[in-house]
């Protein structure tokens, strides 16, 4: 029987293999596939999904669903996640010091008390589900969700490996967000509208729905529904997630989320309830994200505090230190202190570098096809911790 030193060495090797796989990947989908392959000696995976989330809302924005639950179960899975609720939700994991959850360990009573176990895990012939929230000091960027089949329950070694993956894989996902470029110019396609009934079946869709939905990740685990338009609607998980969230008890009448498409850059999903228009229950609109919304996600990735975010926005608008001091009601010295922190986090040395870096990394790619050569001024931000935004900013607390 291996001693503790051998086990720790094995855990370290598997973790290192997973981190290397994440670092070598060229796409988010490839990153998740490589990580699952690397951890398979310890974390056996029958059914799994690697998802990306909006760090402001923790809502699903895509990922790798090739080996996820069957498409017929996806609406129920997302309905539980965002409307009905269950143990080990992503917001719940975000509040834990160690953002790892094993479903059966968290259930109070028989496993059938969990709607996710009763309606998803059990019917698939699985025994348990492991969730790892992938976060770094700047926020939460995704999760690994692993269905577990027959075999002994996961022990301390497996759970220690899961905990050790959260931060490095969170950093890898954040880097993908910071360096990813749109593969073509933003599409002139008009915003899309789809109206869903209480079972998330599309009742009406506009002509532009097909173009937008085909570009929303993933394309291999969309759920086909019957619509009144000219073709069936393939509804991506991100759309289901937002529709389920707005139907949750106590939810606001409307909710929004940001999703990165495969070729059209960042888009905004907006859902609202239609209580007075039966049989339609929820409407969802897909449209390009505005520059302000894009900037909000960018500053989350860099870990800027709310005050640093505001000052950065003023710098990008060309305001001087004196003007920023007046508008923000801060002394010029305090403004300079905040700017120094912003420079440190974004890896630049001056205001001009800051403007050039943010534009080149995050705005110019949407204007120039990725085949064109582009210089990126300034280094990539380092992995060091930065001040975190409070809960009121919708960033998960750590």
Q: Please give the C-alpha separations between residue 166 and each of 46, 100, 135, 175, 212, in angstroms, as whole numbers.
A: 20, 8, 6, 14, 31
Q: In the structure, what pLDDT confidence band is assigned to residue 396 with cuts at 50, 70 and 90?
A: very low
Instruction: Look up residue 3 and give its two tokens.
Output: 């001693």
Q: In the structure, what pLDDT confidence band is assigned to residue 143 with cuts at 50, 70 and 90?
A: very high
What's the rounded Cα separation, in Å, for the pair 248 and 268? 20
How high is the pLDDT of residue 3?
59
Instruction: Look up residue 225 and give its two tokens.
Output: 């529904």
Residue of 108 and 266 predicted with greater confidence: 108
Burial 262-297 (b: 16+ CB within 10 A, else e): bebbbbbbbbbbeeeeeebbbbbbbbbbeeebbbbb
Residue of 119 and 346 predicted with greater confidence: 119
Q: Is the pLDDT of residue 90 over 80?
A: yes
101 backbone dihedrals φ, ψ, rounded to 5°? -140, 135
What's the rounded Cα separation, in Å, for the pair 28 and 261? 12
Global pTM value: 0.61
């Amino acid at each position: 029987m291996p001693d503790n030193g051998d086990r720790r060495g094995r855990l370290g090797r598997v973790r290192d293999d997973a981190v290397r796989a994440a670092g070598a990947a060229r796409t988010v989908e490839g990153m998740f596939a490589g990580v699952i392959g690397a951890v398979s000696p310890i974390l056996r995976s029958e059914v799994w999904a690697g998802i990306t989330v909006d760090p402001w809302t923790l809502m699903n924005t895509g990922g790798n669903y090739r080996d996820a639950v069957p498409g017929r179960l996806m609406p129920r899975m997302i309905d539980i996640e965002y409307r009905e609720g269950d143990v080990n939700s992503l917001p719940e994991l975000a509040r834990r010091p160690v953002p790892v959850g094993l479903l059966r360990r968290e259930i109070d009573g028989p496993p059938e008390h969990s709607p996710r176990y009763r309606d998803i895990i059990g019917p698939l012939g699985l025994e348990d589900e492991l969730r790892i929230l992938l976060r770094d000091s700047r926020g939460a960027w995704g999760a690994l969700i692993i269905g577990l089949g027959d075999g002994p329950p996961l022990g301390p070694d497996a759970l220690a490996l899961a905990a050790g993956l959260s931060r490095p894989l969170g950093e890898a996902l954040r880097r993908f967000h910071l360096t990813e470029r749109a593969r073509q110019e933003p599409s002139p396609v008009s915003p899309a509208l789809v109206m869903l009934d209480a079972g998330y079946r599309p009742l009406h869709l506009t002509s532009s729905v097909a173009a937008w939905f085909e570009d929303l990740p993933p394309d291999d685990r969309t759920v086909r529904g019957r619509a009144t338009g000219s073709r069936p609607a393939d509804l991506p998980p991100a759309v289901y997630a937002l529709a389920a969230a707005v139907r949750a008890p106590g939810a606001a009448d409307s909710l929004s989320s940001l999703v990165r498409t495969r070729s059209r850059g960042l888009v905004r999903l907006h859902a609202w309830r239609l209580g007075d228009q039966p049989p339609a229950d929820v409407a969802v609109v897909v449209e390009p994200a505005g520059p302000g919304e894009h900037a909000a996600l960018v500053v989350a990735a860099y870990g800027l505090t709310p005050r640093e975010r505001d000052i950065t926005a003023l710098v990008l608008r060309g305001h001087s230190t004196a003007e920023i001091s007046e508008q923000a009601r801060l002394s010029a010295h305090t403004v300079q202190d905040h700017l120094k922190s912003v420079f440190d986090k974004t890896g630049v040395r001056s205001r001009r570098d800051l403007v050039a870096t943010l534009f080149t990394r995050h705005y110019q790619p949407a204007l120039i096809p990725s085949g064109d050569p582009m210089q990126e001024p300034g280094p990539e931000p380092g992995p060091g911790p930065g001040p975190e935004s409070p809960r009121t900013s919708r960033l998960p607390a750590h």
